[in-house]
């Protein structure tokens, strides 16, 4: 008898997973986007997508959702990338857009491009609309003065590039700024300046009666501070720029809540009934991991529960003294996928894509060390330093060490095998 897929650990050969899915009737792939099916880039407007991947997604209709902190719509959304990849306007008619959740879980789209923002008020949307303008003005003033003192002719172009005017999750993506500044000390100062700017926005929201409406998401991060309840910035160091994305998010827009939204959609498509109610959204989901598991146990029929394959690229692990600080924007949802598999005995799988080969500096996976040493060997864990550690409660089952090109080849392969 072959071993359970969930018993694999940092396995670099993904063929056992492909073989299992070829024989599986009920499975659901929940997949992040940037770094997974596209390379990480400094300028989001330069992102491209393989048309063959888009076609493979349609082949997986009913078995596939995206779950991303990016967005479907807008100039920097994923839908325009799909349109450019196809070179025509057939995506809407043929249902070729990527179905699932954007903006951390509050922007729901079907494969025909119908987008809704369940649970979001008009006042909240109006506040979000102002942020890109404020962020651009802030950066122009910040970068033109000491200690940055960047050339004035470049400042406006930089601000335009790094301020992402996302509809439900306006973001400062500082990758390009980090590359321009170049030094760890300058990037560290920038991180603190951007953190202060975001904190000021929260105070403005509070003054307008929306003190509980928003939070700041940092990517990558070092998890949540148990005292403040806020995410911890990952400082820049010699191995990576650390936190580069500063996202102003709606409360509840966390990927682990999105997993339940997507399962609710999956059950409804399969059975005609929404176990959590048709109006259930990430904003109405409970806030803790334990409560999400409890609600799942109460609401979802185990006989209808699919095997879930969670696919992401952003997890972090960093030792501070005797403590491991773990974070990353995919860690929460991947951990929930793992624990749902244990709770429902559905043999769920965590698949990590090594995104270190892009333009953004990220920790990488040392394949040789993983293959040469057992899991109790120090060199084994040095092979995934910065991503995981020996005490990590999240067990990565499979890894695409070749990055997004390897994942795309695997995904197209399973689409052909299963349909």
pLDDT in tens, 172-222: 999 999 999 999 999 999 999 999 999 999 999 999 999 999 999 999 999
Instruction: With H, G, I as helix, E, B as strand and everything else as coil, classify residue 209.
Output: coil
Q: What is the 3-state secondary structure (H, E, C) of 129-185?
A: HHHHHHHHHHHHHHHCCCCCCCCHHHHHHHHHHHEECCCCCCEEECHHHHHHHCCHH
Find where tokens 């499979």 sit. Answer: 398
Rounded to an integer, the average pLDDT of 138-161 is 93
Instruction: With H, G, I as helix, E, B as strand and everything else as coil, classify residue 1.
Output: coil
Residues 6 or more apart whose Cβ sits within 8 Å of residue 141: none
Adjacent-strand bridge partners of 29: 64, 309
pLDDT of residue 2: 60
pLDDT in tens, 100-127: 999 999 999 999 999 999 999 999 999 9
Among 38-42, 216-220, 331-335, top mean pLDDT goes to: 331-335
Adjacent-strand bridge partners of 362: none
CA distance 417 to 21: 8
- The DSSP 8-state label assigned to residue 2 in this structure reads P
pLDDT band at 3 (very low <50, low <70, confident <90, very high): confident
CA distance 38 to 27: 23
pLDDT of residue 1: 42
Q: Where along the chain do its domains lie? A: 5-116+253-418, 122-167+170-250
Q: Could you tell me if 38 and 48 are in contact, meaning their C-beta atoms sit under 8 angstroms apart?
A: yes
**pTM for the complete prediction?**
0.92
Mark 123-151 as b/e (b = at least 16 C-beta within 10 Å).
Answer: ebeebbeebbebbbebbbebbeeeebebe
pLDDT of residue 378: 86
pLDDT of residue 316: 94
What tokens were used for 16? Answer: 């056992």
């Amino acid at each position: 008898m072959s071993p359970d897929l969930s018993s694999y650990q940092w396995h670099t050969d993904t063929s056992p997973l492909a073989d299992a899915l070829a024989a599986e009737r009920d499975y659901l792939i929940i997949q992040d986007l940037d770094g997974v099916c596209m390379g990480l880039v400094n300028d989001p407007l330069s992102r491209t997508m393989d048309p063959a991947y888009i076609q493979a997604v349609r082949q997986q209709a009913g078995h596939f959702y995206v779950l991303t902190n990016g967005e479907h719509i807008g100039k920097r959304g994923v839908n325009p990338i799909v349109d450019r990849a196809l070179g025509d306007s057939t995506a809407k008619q043929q249902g070729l857009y990527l179905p699932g959740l954007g903006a951390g879980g509050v922007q729901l789209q079907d494969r025909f491009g119908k987008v809704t923002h369940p649970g979001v008020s008009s006042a909240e949307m109006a506040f979000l609309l102002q942020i890109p303008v404020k962020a651009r003005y802030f950066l122009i003033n910040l970068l033109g003065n000491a200690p940055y003192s960047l050339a004035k002719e470049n400042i406006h172009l930089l601000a335009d590039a790094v301020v992402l005017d996302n509809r439900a999750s306006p973001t400062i993506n500082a990758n390009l700024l980090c590359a321009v500044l170049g030094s760890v000390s300058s990037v560290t100062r920038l991180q603190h300046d951007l953190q202060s700017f975001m904190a000021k926005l929260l105070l403005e929201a509070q003054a307008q009666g929306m003190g509980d409406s928003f939070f700041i998401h940092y990517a990558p991060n070092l998890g949540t501070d148990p005292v403040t309840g806020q995410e911890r910035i990952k400082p820049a160091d010699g191995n990576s720029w650390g936190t580069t994305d500063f996202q102003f998010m709606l409360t509840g827009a966390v990927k682990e809540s999105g997993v339940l939204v997507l399962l609710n959609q999956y059950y409804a498509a399969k059975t005609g009934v929404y176990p959590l109610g048709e109006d259930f959204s990430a904003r109405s989901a409970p806030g803790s991991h334990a409560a999400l598991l409890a609600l799942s146990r109460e609401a979802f029929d185990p006989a209808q529960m699919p095997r879930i394959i969670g696919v992401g690229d952003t997890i972090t692990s960093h030792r501070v003294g005797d403590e491991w600080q773990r974070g990353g924007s995919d860690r929460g949802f991947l951990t929930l996928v793992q624990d749902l598999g244990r709770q429902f005995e559905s043999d769920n799988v965590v698949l990590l894509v090594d995104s270190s080969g892009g333009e953004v500096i990220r920790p990488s996976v040392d394949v040789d060390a993983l293959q040469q040493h057992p899991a109790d060997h120090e060199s084994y864990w040095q092979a995934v330093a910065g991503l995981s550690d020996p005490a990590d409660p999240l067990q990565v089952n499979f890894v695409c060490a070749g990055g997004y090109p390897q994942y795309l080849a695997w995904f197209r392969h399973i689409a052909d095998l299963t349909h």
